[in-house]
Amino acid sequence: EKGGYDYFMLKEIAEQPKAVADTLLGRIDAAGSLCLDELRISAAELREVDKVVIVACGTAFHAGLIAKYAIEHWTRIPCEVELASEFRYRDPILDSRSLVVAISQSGETMDTLMALRHAREQGSRVLAICNTNGSTIPRESDAVLYTHAGPEVAVASTKAFLTQLVACYLVALYLGQVRGTKWGDEIGAVIRDLSKISHEVERVLETMEPVRELARSLAGKNTVLFLGRHVGYPVALEGALKLKELAYMHAEGFAAGELKHGPIALIEEDLPVVVVVPSPRGRSVLHDKIVSNIQEIRARGARTIVIAEEGDETVVPYADHLIRIPATPTLLQPLVATVPLQVFACELATARGNEVDQPRNLAKSVTVE
């Protein structure tokens, strides 16, 4: 059942290229346009949407954070992302023109379910992004876009996360397509990039041995920090969450620009700090800023673990460990940048003797509020 792997988590990490491809399957037509008729929300209704609100928990919340960048960039519709457990208790401002997107692998997470019920009571439309056919969250939603990750058994979410990202990009691009934006050309190009991305995920998986070796060498550490900017920030949060769950280590993700506002005080000799570096192409200002963040923490003794695009030579002098990922458009980078962090956490957990598939105190679906 584990297909020759020691853990379901390893199997599920390896299945990611297929999960990503399956989630795209049938949703891009021969002309390179998106066809999401399955949403059952008409183009006219989607043109009425004046706000998108994403609710989710844990790893699915991180997918939502990334979706915000994509939705706002491609559609110019304001997008909020909120932890489902906080959402309804603050009396959120919603009406019939708000599109609420509930992201959930299991489709049974009580916090997310309660948030979507609240949204529907306010007259909003709810779109579920879900991996489990016929589960409660899609049944109670107006529309559903299923992720096709297949069953995820390991408690720590991996392939479901990548497919949630794909689904979020599809929703963002589709909204852009039906509404027409100034990014029309870019949308076509991104759809083409997205349809090739599963191959890039495959390439990342082929180069993970040094990451595993690095993880083993850090098994005695107590703390690991993660830094990112833009979509790399939620990737940093996800890397930290995986490490907490699996390795039971103190792990925190920060927006790299926030370092100087406090967290830099944590930097000490030999502290491992993972930095997700955006592409030097495109929004290069982001890239330059993070390179100076790496210099700052290294000058204070941090052991820098740098995740950077192939061909990005500027980071080389400041990286104690360099993890290469394929070049992708900035907004799609989380699909490749997250994978080494999953492998890293899984290997560290193994090296520390932890139960990888069934971490202490956790359950696969959290059906209590």
Catalytic residues, by residue number, are: 364
Which of the 8 DSSP states describes residue 279? Answer: P
Site for ligand F6R in 150-209 (CB under 6 A): 156-157
Query: How many residues are given for the chain?
Result: 369
Tell me the closest approach of the beta carbon of residue 326 to ligand F6R, in angstroms: 24
According to the binding rule CB under 6 A, does residue 57 interact with ligand F6R? Answer: yes
Alpha helices in 7-143 (DSSP H): 8-14, 16-24, 43-48, 58-75, 84-87, 110-121, 136-139
Q: Between 228 and 239, name the residue whose CB sits nearer to ligand F6R.
A: 239
DSSP three-state, residue 35 = coil
Tell me the closest approach of the beta carbon of residue 297 to ligand F6R, in angstroms: 26
- 3-state SS string for 160-201: HHHHHHHHHHHHHHHHHHHHCCCCHHHHHHHHHHHHHHHHHH
Q: Between 75 and 147, name the residue whose CB sits nearer to ligand F6R.
A: 147
According to the binding rule CB under 6 A, does residue 366 interact with ligand F6R? Answer: yes
According to the binding rule CB under 6 A, does residue 60 interact with ligand F6R? Answer: yes
Q: Between 22 and 357, name the residue whose CB sits nearer to ligand F6R.
A: 357
DSSP three-state, residue 56 = strand
Among all chains, which residue has been given the structure tokens 């004046």? Answer: 50
Q: Which residue is nearest to ligand F6R (CB)?
A: 58
Q: Between 152 and 309, name the residue whose CB sits nearer to ligand F6R.
A: 152
According to the binding rule CB under 6 A, does residue 304 interact with ligand F6R? Answer: no
Stretch that binds ligand F6R, among 98-106, 216-224, 307-315, 339-347 (CB under 6 A): 98-106
Tell me the closest approach of the beta carbon of residue 274 to ligand F6R, in angstroms: 17
Among all chains, which residue has been given the structure tokens 């040094």? Answer: 210
Stretch that binds ligand F6R, among 93-101, 102-110, 223-231, 310-318 (CB under 6 A): 102-110
According to the binding rule CB under 6 A, does residue 112 interact with ligand F6R? Answer: yes
Tokens of residue 110, six digits: 């009580």
Instruction: Note every long-range contact of 119-123, with CB atoms under 8 Å and residues 24 or more positions apart, other chains counting.
Output: 119/53, 119/55, 119/92, 119/94, 122/92, 122/94, 122/95, 122/98, 123/94, 123/95, 123/96
Tell me the closest approach of the beta carbon of residue 341 to ligand F6R, in angstroms: 12
Q: Between 183 and 248, name the residue whose CB sits nearer to ligand F6R.
A: 248
The binding site for ligand F6R (CB under 6 A) comprises 57-60, 104-106, 109, 112, 156-157, 241, 245, 365-366
